[in-house]
Structure formats: structure tokens, C-alpha cells
């Protein structure tokens, strides 16, 4: 259970390139760096991408009028979402932030960018906006490999979203080398959050 007697640290969301955000070696232990800076972290799950591809598979089957694919895609979606909901329900007493449904993420993305793009940018934008609109979240960090086009799209739009919701959204680039620039950005990000709360 969430211990209500312990004051909550500012909660931030981490999204971006699917592998990079979930692999501690690749992102130089980003979650620990954020926690050391005084933040609480939620990381978008890897299943976010699987749910998105399953959603798009069904959407394309309907669009191109393929009845057998519609039925099989629908059944796969129902099973996948049902299994996820059962697992998530078991953790509700200890986790108070649940991942939004794919349809909600894509609805947010559609305000600024085509959800049919087929890249992580679709999910990063939609999830990031969902977090910025949620009063539990204080900011967003998007991660990307050096030179990643979907990550570049998100980075180009992050300032606009940050200004609109008055919450910080930064993009961090990882290229496989040890660096200190991201550490400074994380600490500045945390300081901005503390100053604006």
C-alpha cells in the first residue's frame, strides 16, 4: 500500500524510445538519477508499444475491410487488455497511477500530430500530454538515442507543451558514452519543479 504518512515527492513521467527508457544500462540509470534529484518516477511500460501495434492492427483491418483480420485482431485486443487489467487490479493497493488506454493516448496525440505515424513519437506525445493534464504529475522527461527522428519530433514540440501546461518537459539524448550533461539537465529539471510547486 501507498504509505500516506510519507510526503510524496514530485511525480514525473519518463517516456520516449521504448528500449532506451526501460534499459538501465542504456539510459545510465535514469530512474535512480531522478530519484537522487528528489523525484518520484513513473516509466511508460514496454507493453505500451504492443498495445499500440495491436490497436493499429485492428484499425487497419477495419479501414481495409478485412473481416477475418477484424475478428482475430478484436479477439487479440480483448485478451491482451483483459489480462493487463487483471494484473493491474492486483496492484491497485500499492500503485496509484495506472497507464492510460491506447485510445486515450491517441486522442491526446491527435490534437498535434497524426496518430497513424507509427513511431514512438505518437505514444510519447499522447502519454506526455496525459501526464501534464494529470495534477499528480509535475513534469515529463522524454528519452531518445542520438539522432532519433521520432525523439526529435517530440523534443521539437516539448517546449510548446511545457508552456501550455506550465510544467517542465525535457528531452534527454543518450549515445552510449558516459556523459554529465544529462545529469545537469535532470538536476535543473528537478529544481524547476521544486521552485514551481
pLDDT tens profile 136-181: 999 999 999 988 999 999 999 999 999 999 999 999 999 877 666 8
**Sign of CA pseudo-dihedral 38, 42, 46, 49:** negative
pLDDT tens profile 59-83: 999 999 999 999 999 999 999 989 9
pLDDT tens profile 3-57: 677 778 999 999 999 999 999 999 999 999 999 999 999 999 988 999 999 999 9
At residue 73, the pLDDT reads 93
CB 73 within 8 A of CB 180: no
Give the closest residue to 143 by CA, choosing from 172, 111, 106: 172
What count of other Cβ atoms lies within 10 Å of the Cβ of residue 102?
22
Q: For the chain, list the domains and their CATH numbers.
A: 11-46+96-196 (3.40.50.11900)
| Alpha carbon distance 9, 50 (integer Å) | 30
| Alpha carbon distance 157, 146 (integer Å) | 17
Query: 103 vs 178, which has greater pLDDT?
Result: 103
- Model pTM score: 0.90
Amino acid at each position: 500500500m501507498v504509505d500516506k504518512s510519507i510526503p510524496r515527492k514530485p511525480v514525473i513521467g519518463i517516456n520516449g524510445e521504448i528500449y532506451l527508457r526501460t534499459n538501465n544500462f542504456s539510459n545510465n540509470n535514469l530512474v535512480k538519477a531522478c530519484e537522487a534529484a528528489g523525484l518520484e518516477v513513473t516509466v511508460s511500460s514496454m507493453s505500451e508499444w504492443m498495445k499500440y501495434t495491436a490497436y493499429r492492427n485492428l484499425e487497419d483491418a477495419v479501414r481495409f475491410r478485412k473481416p477475418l483480420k477484424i475478428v482475430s485482431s478484436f479477439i487479440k485486443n480483448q485478451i491482451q487488455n483483459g489480462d493487463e487489467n487483471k494484473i493491474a487490479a492486483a496492484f491497485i493497493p500499492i500503485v496509484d497511477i495506472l497507464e492510460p488506454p491506447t485510445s486515450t493516448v491517441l486522442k491526446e496525440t491527435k490534437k498535434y500530430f497524426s496518430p497513424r505515424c507509427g513511431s514512438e513519437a505518437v505514444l510519447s506525445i499522447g502519454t506526455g500530454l496525459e501526464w501534464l493534464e494529470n495534477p499528480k504529475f509535475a513534469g515529463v522527461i522524454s528519452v531518445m538515442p542520438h539522432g532519433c527522428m521520432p525523439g526529435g519530433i517530440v523534443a521539437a514540440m516539448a517546449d510548446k507543451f511545457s508552456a501550455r501546461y506550465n510544467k517542465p518537459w525535457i528531452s534527454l539524448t543518450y549515445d552510449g558514452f558516459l556523459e554529465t550533461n544529462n545529469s545537469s539537465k535532470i538536476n535543473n529539471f528537478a529544481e524547476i519543479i521544486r521552485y514551481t510547486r
